[in-house]
């Protein structure tokens, strides 16, 4: 195994097991980007023992690194999470470790929030098991060529690609195997790699994992997949929506829970839909709260270009057994693998926030014994949703709805909500200043 000390333990021993002489320490920022520092193994051991001061600016700038407050941007206390320690895939003798802020400032952190909610599930005797699956596009472009082309008229990799294409796999098998090997080195399991709808489009479902390992794996997958393909002169894009002519890119989340004896608590073979009462209440909470919590899993402007009619994505809160048009799909092929698939998140989602939303809403449903509306096998894409189930239509609306939700503040805390909303408001304000090519072509010289 590449991952060591899953329950903590001695950091130095972990580095010795990995034969690591250096460590890439990464702080996951609010967008899920791995902010990296390379240090010697000796220094990493000291930081693990004494703390890891890191600049607070990560929570005061946007994705383009434009600050939205004035300040000294001091260092804040942080820590190295020994349970995240694993091999670095691009050079021998190096390791990767995730760090995060501690104390009061750490309440802003999506990773800390996710960890807290996993612990709350544990207090109820429940273990969280989950897995993400990401769709992404590959371009035969580099950062330099993207800028030179002004991000227009880009060349897609594998332009003749078709969904589940043997031909693409046959031609580019070495590249895909290399991605698999890279993730294996890091202890990240890939359930499969296959082509998807559109030129250069691929999907990678990750193997399920317990607790915080799943969102750690998901966040590292996206960061290191981009790095892997960059090393091959390609660019991987995890945007929600690249073009009106192409399907959106999803980041679906599968989640189940087990009790302390390892029993699947969502399953009851003798009940309707094979769902236990606890499973139904979990779904009840998720369906009820989804519209007001949406910004947590759809936190970019671009995410809302996918959550529209005709884009193979949900536009309202609903559920159904084995229904791929539903926001929550129940998969009940076998009792022991009964789970929910949360189909709202896009490929650009922050895995920690998507999982925190799902756990937080589900536990709310369990604690309050919320019965969900009737599940359905209808085509929700073509149905008329009830007004209360409809999603906010843009990031600005979603952020304000989250901000005004007393339930969200009770589940996730004022510190997180206030910090998160500040960033989302700034992101939406930056978007509102822009004039798109579509607007110019539609209005210039006519209005």
Which CB contacts under 8 angstroms, 24+ apart, belong to 8-16? Answer: 8/82, 8/83, 9/82, 10/82, 11/44, 11/45, 11/48, 11/49, 11/80, 11/82, 11/85, 12/45, 12/48, 14/82, 14/85, 14/95, 15/41, 15/44, 15/45, 15/85, 15/95
Span 337-345, mean pLDDT? 97
- DSSP reduced 3-state for 263: coil
How big is the CA angle at 220 (ends 312 and 109), to the nearest 5 degrees?
90
Q: 111 vs 13, 223, 267, 322, CA distance in Å?
A: 24, 15, 28, 30
Percent of the chain at pLDDT > 70 equals 98
Please say if the pLDDT value at position 440 is more than 50. Answer: yes
Residues pairing with 156 in the sheet: 139
pLDDT for position 13: 95
**Confidence grade of residue 10 (pLDDT, cut at 50, 70, 90):** confident
Mean pLDDT value across the chain? 95
DSSP 367-404: HTTPPPPPP--S-TTTS---GGGBPPSSHHHHHHHHHT
pLDDT score for 4: 43
| Residue 296 Rama label (left phi>0; alpha psi -120 to 50; beta) | alpha
How many residues belong to the chain? 447
Q: Which of 433, 424, 434, 432 is nearest to 400 (CA)?
A: 424
* Residue range 225-239: mean pLDDT, rounded: 98
| pLDDT tops 70 at residue 8 | no
Q: What's the number of CA atoms in the CB half-sphere (13 Å) around residue 80? A: 31
Average pLDDT over residues 349-370: 98
DSSP labels for 399-415? HHHHHT-HHHHHHH-HH
Q: What six digits make up the tokens of 304?
A: 């809302």
| pLDDT confidence of residue 174 | 96
How far apart (Å, rounded) are the C-alpha atoms in residues 399 and 402? 5
If pLDDT is split at 50, 70 and 90, which confidence band does 310 have?
Answer: confident
């Amino acid at each position: 195994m590449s991952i060591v000390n899953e329950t903590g333990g001695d950091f130095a021993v972990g580095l010795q097991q990995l034969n690591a002489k250096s460590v890439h320490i990464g702080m996951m920022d609010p967008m899920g980007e791995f902010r990296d520092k390379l240090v010697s193994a000796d220094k990493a051991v000291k930081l693990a023992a004494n703390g890891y001061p890191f600049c607070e600016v990560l929570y005061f700038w946007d994705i383009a690194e434009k600050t939205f407050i004035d300040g000294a941007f001091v260092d804040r206390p942080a820590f190295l999470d020994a349970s995240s320690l694993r091999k670095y895939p691009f050079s021998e003798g190096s390791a990767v470790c995730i760090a995060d802020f501690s104390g009061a400032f750490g309440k802003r952190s999506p990773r800390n929030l996710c960890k807290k909610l996993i612990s709350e599930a544990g207090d109820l005797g429940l273990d969280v098991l989950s897995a993400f699956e990401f769709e992404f596009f590959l371009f035969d472009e580099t950062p330099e060529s993207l800028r030179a082309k002004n991000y227009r008229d880009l060349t897609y990799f594998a332009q003749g690609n078709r969904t589940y294409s043997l031909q693409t796999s046959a031609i580019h098998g070495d590249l895909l195997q290399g991605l698999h090997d890279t993730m294996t080195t890091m202890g990240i399991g890939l359930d499969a790699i296959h082509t998807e709808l559109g030129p250069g489009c691929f999907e990678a479902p990750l193997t399920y994992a317990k607790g915080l390992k799943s969102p750690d794996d998901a966040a590292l997958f996206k960061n290191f997949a981009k790095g892997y393909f960059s090393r091959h002169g390609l660019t991987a894009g995890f945007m929600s929506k690249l073009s009106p002519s192409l399907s959106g890119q999803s980041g679906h989340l599968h989640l189940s829970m087990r009790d302390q004896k390892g029993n699947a608590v969502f399953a009851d073979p003798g009940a309707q839909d094979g769902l236990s009462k606890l499973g139904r209440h979990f779904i009840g909470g998720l369906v009820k709260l989804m519209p007001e919590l949406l910004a947590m899993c759809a936190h970019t402007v671009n995410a809302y270009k996918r959550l529209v009619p005709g884009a193979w994505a949900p536009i309202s809160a609903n559920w159904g057994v084995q229904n791929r048009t539903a926001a929550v799909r129940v998969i009940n092929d076998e009792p022991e693998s009964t789970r929910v698939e949360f189909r709202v998140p896009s490929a650009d989602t922050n895995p920690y926030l998507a999982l925190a939303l799902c756990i937080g809403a589900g536990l709310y449903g369990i604690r309050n014994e919320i019965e969900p509306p009737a599940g359905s096998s209808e085509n929700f894409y073509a149905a008329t949703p009830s007004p209360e189930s409809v999603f906010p239509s843009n990031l600005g609306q979603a952020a304000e709805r989250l901000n005004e939700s007393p339930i969200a503040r009770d589940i996730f805390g004022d510190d997180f909500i206030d910090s998160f909303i500040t960033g989302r408001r700034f992101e939406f304000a930056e978007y509102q200043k822009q004039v798109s090519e579509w607007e110019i072509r539609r209005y210039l010289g006519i209005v």
